[in-house]
Amino acid sequence: MNNSLLLALDDSGREVILMGKGIGFNKSIGHHLKSEDIEKVFVLKDRSISKNIIRLASEIDSTYFELAKQVIDYAIEAYGMVLMEHIYLGLTDHLSFAVKRYQEGILIQNFYTQTLKRFNPNEFQVGLYALQLVREQLHVELPQDEAGNIAFHFINAQTNNSYSTDNKTIFETVQGILDIVKYNFSILYNEEGIGYTRFITHLRFFAQRLVNGSQDLYEYEDSFYTHVIESCKREYDCVRKIGIFIQEKFDSRLSRQEEMYLTVHIHRILEEYSHQNKK
């Protein structure tokens, strides 16, 4: 699939995805691999994860898969984190998207950075390590707030994380927002699309903050916020409906920062839907 990922058959004939630095370089069908070349094996029992890995491999440079693997290995070795496999997919996509945003001059402040440093120091340190690798290997200086965004991936992916007992509420919240968007615009989601995957990830983190009572209601507003709201009026009208849903379910309002995030994600969902229909 790329220099870091191979689709292969194991000794019992099962399809697997193999990860390893340079593992795909100069390999062809029928090549037998040595076990020492393989760093990670994904058995294709979870089709959704494997399909998304295959899709990402065609869209994202192999460097980001290698970066994500290094960061995940650090989290496991330094802090003994037990992580679900979706972290490989989510973190790879996040790192690629964060660098792209930076290169396009789009910087979005994370107002949860201080909260994360205090309540999730290990996960935040993993985020800082990720920024260090990006700086050393890609020569890109991501802002420290990005460490907080990366930390959320590790909070969410731990099998024993503190949010597990609230999963039902998180699921209901995510599904409720998805339904509002779907019925508001009369669309069907492209569940294999990048926009949908990113939207789901964002909604899960957002729902976790609501359940945990850690949503920051700082009155965030600048020229970028104003530009987004004015440029995406249909999407923002839908976000206001989501705000009513959140008010009724959690007795909490949306922060302006969250309004902006949701507006941008919905805009991408609509672009994906339009593009798919044209095809």
For residue range 205-264, list pLDDT tens digits in order. Answer: 899 889 888 776 666 557 788 889 999 999 999 999 999 999 999 999 998 889 999 999
The predicted structure's pLDDT at residue 160:
67
Question: Would strands 15-19 and 5-9 be described as parallel, antiparallel, or unpaired?
Answer: antiparallel
- State yes or no: pLDDT of 164 exceeds 60: no
- The DSSP code for 162 is T
- State yes or no: pLDDT of 29 exceeds 80: yes
**Is the Cβ–Cβ distance between 65 and 57 less than 8 Å?**
yes
Q: Which residues of 211-238 are buried (b: 16+ CB within 10 A; e: fewer)?
A: beeebeeeebeeeebeebbeebeebbeb
Structure tokens at 225: 């916020």
- State yes or no: pLDDT of 45 exceeds 80: no
Average pLDDT over residues 9-38: 85
Residue 21, helix vs strand vs coil: coil
* Half-sphere exposure for 216 (CA within 13 Å, toward CB): 12
Q: Tokens 């249909």 appear where?
A: 234
* Half-sphere exposure for 7 (CA within 13 Å, toward CB): 10
Residue 41, helix vs strand vs coil: strand
Average pLDDT over residues 190-211: 86
CATH topology of domain 165-278: PTS-regulatory domain, PRD (1.10.1790)
The predicted structure's pLDDT at residue 10:
87
CATH 1.10.1790.10 domain span(s) along the chain: 60-161, 165-278
Higher per-residue confidence, 148 vs 125: 125
Structure tokens at 116: 């994360």
CATH topology of domain 60-161: PTS-regulatory domain, PRD (1.10.1790)
Instruction: Round to the nearest angstrom and report the end-to-end CA distance of the chain.
Output: 24
**For the domain bounded by 1-46, which CATH number is listed?**
2.30.24.10
The predicted structure's pLDDT at residue 122:
92
pLDDT digits (tens, 9 = 90+) for 78-124: 999 999 888 888 899 999 999 998 898 887 766 567 667 766 789 99
The predicted structure's pLDDT at residue 217:
62
